[in-house]
Structure 1
């Protein structure tokens, strides 16, 4: 894999290795203060990111240093960033790979995935994406949704969607597969880290949770009339919308959206399907957060628990 594709898009391998995923602070929570980047040095020849120092400002005067970041501008005042590590991450020993049923399905070992990987490595994300979709359809027909082989293709498809700028679809996929990767491979596995950093990158590009919710709402409004409410793509998007709404602080709407997602997932996939379990986990998380909020939030959580949890 080349230097650029070895990293978390749009950062190259070297810049990814020397930094961690980071989401810009919400300016609405700074209570009269602002932030501003100063400096512009160590420009990367591979991904064009540069090192800048972030300060909290008051009336444009820097008052406290936040940290050093690698920044890539995405147009206007928008950017994606990664926080520089003061010390390199420790090298961990490779973990034992979980068993896969892939070896029992020789029909899956065709040239489609290899061609997709070749196009991905060459930077041709747009042509790699449909090939990953074809490979994934074959895997999901023969293997479980959380089989290690299926998860690898799901992750690669999410990366391709991120690389082509389809942020809503990328967020939906990353949000679905990250808890599955944690369960199958472990929280510290390289694939899990790629997924976590992938969704952070997509969310950072979109903006805050409210911007993310708007994007996913528009995507859902486009998909559902043509595909139907129980289409897997619709379910992924609605689940992501429920999580974005939760992080935006709108607990009752979030619980309602996640209840609908769980109900439809049970109807389509079954109660114990890996994707259904993710929907159930998201609803559980929303209910737990609501327990410490307003009476209206607590009542919504109690109703959801009686129905589904």
Structure 2
């Protein structure tokens, strides 16, 4: 079953959800039959299937499965278990993907609080959780809370993971995006430029994340050109 789950994960990583999802479904069925509903491997398998449904855009199946998994993980593993905290983060992300920020944001806030207490404020998962919450605040239009949280996350990621770590580079891109959303192109554009230079050096010029940052910079430059001073 572990090999089948690994193969499904490889298909998903390759973007072949048409083969990944049936394999995840079969793995979950067999895991339940052999190990039982509450076995940690069953819970992990259910989480993986929910993630594949979400990747396929099927939130109608993903969200109930995430909800069930979170309830069972909290009961079986405990509400503070790292896997339970990850499951809660996944559910919050699915709510956000469905546009339900009213449920996503409190769940992100709770997860950040618990990860900070259980894992520590500098744990990579805690830093990721802080970034996710900032993103949810931004999606809700609350840049007054999003930008300081992005700045704090970037500072901590650079200190803990290193300034060239891919997560640090992504965090810098996110902060630039928040500045742009706030109309502060004077801070957004230099940050995009710095991030693009570092991403091209660390990840390569053709890496998807590098390409995304390049597009973000182009958008910000275009916005500045359109909104800049007019000379008659």
**TM-score normalised over the length of structure 2:** 0.50
More helix by share: 2
More strand by share: 1
**TM-score normalised over the length of structure 1:** 0.39
